[in-house]
Every structure is written in C-alpha cells, then in structure tokens.
Amino acid sequence: MTDDIALRTATPDEIPALLALWAAAAKGTSISDDEAGVAALLARDPHCLIVATPAGDPGTLLGTVIAGWDGWRAHLYRLAVDPAHRRRGIGAALLAAAEERLAALGARRIDAMVLDGNELGHRTWKAAGYAPEPQWSRWVKPLAG
C-alpha cells in the first residue's frame, strides 16, 4: 500500500500544516509544538522531519516522524499518521526512512518517545521491533515559561 505515498523532508512553509496534523493525529503535546519550536528544529537540522504525502499530491501531509541525531544519540519523536489514513503502512514507511537516515549518520541505537497511555502507538512501535526499557525514566525541566 505504500506505493501510493512519497516520503520527503518537511519545509518551513509547512509548519502550520504540521502543527495541524499533530493536533489531529498525535497523542499529547510538547512545549515545542508551536511555529517557533518547529522552525528552530528545521533551521538546526533541515532533514530531521520526514513527512509522508500522497504520491501525486506533495502538498497534503499524511504523516510525520522526527529523526533527531545529536552526534551521540538518535531519537524519534512525533510519529503521527492522519487518522483517516492509518493502517496503510504509512507509519512503517516513516519509521523505515527515519531508521535509514539515523543509521547513515552513525547511530547504533534509537530511542523513541512514546506516551505510556498510547496503546495504538505501543502496537506500532512493537511491530517495528522497539521495546520499552522499564529501568529508565524520563526526567524533564521546562526552560521556557
């Protein structure tokens, strides 16, 4: 089913559409889920935010994943697929593209941010070969007010 989608990196002019997709498709929010946060992400690493679109309609976003690499660790964030287009292999295609990117950059392990209560997400990540590490907890300290 993924023959009818195209994968590419997001562009800054798509930030409003990205935020709208995340609001409709993603579980939870992040302190960086605003135009300034996404613009800073794309300015720092223009290739980290991968989007899926219909093959003949590059302006319609079907899904996203952020494949972040800091030179030491690889992280995946914001795997989100439009609810109307789920169960078509879009999430799996996005994950495969993210893994390929991160492996090419030198990553040896990938961490994925997945909410504990996101059961649909748990199934997706498990099917892709990911597993939780219960010995780790995420500690956070917001810097923006």
Map out the domains of the chain as residue ranges.
2-127
More confident residue, 140 or 14: 14
Instruction: Inform me whether the pLDDT recorded for 125 exceeds 60.
Output: yes
Superfamily of domain covering 2-127:
Gcn5-related N-acetyltransferase (GNAT) (3.40.630.30)
Tens of pLDDT along 67-97? 999 999 999 999 999 999 999 999 999 999 9
Mean pLDDT of 127-137: 88
Tell me, yes or no, if the pTM score tops 0.85: yes
- Which own/partner contact pairs does 62-68 have at CB distance under 8 Å and 24+ positions apart? 62/5, 62/90, 63/21, 63/25, 63/90, 63/91, 63/94, 64/10, 64/18, 64/21, 64/22, 64/94, 65/94, 65/95, 65/97, 65/98, 66/41, 67/97, 67/98, 67/99, 67/101, 67/102
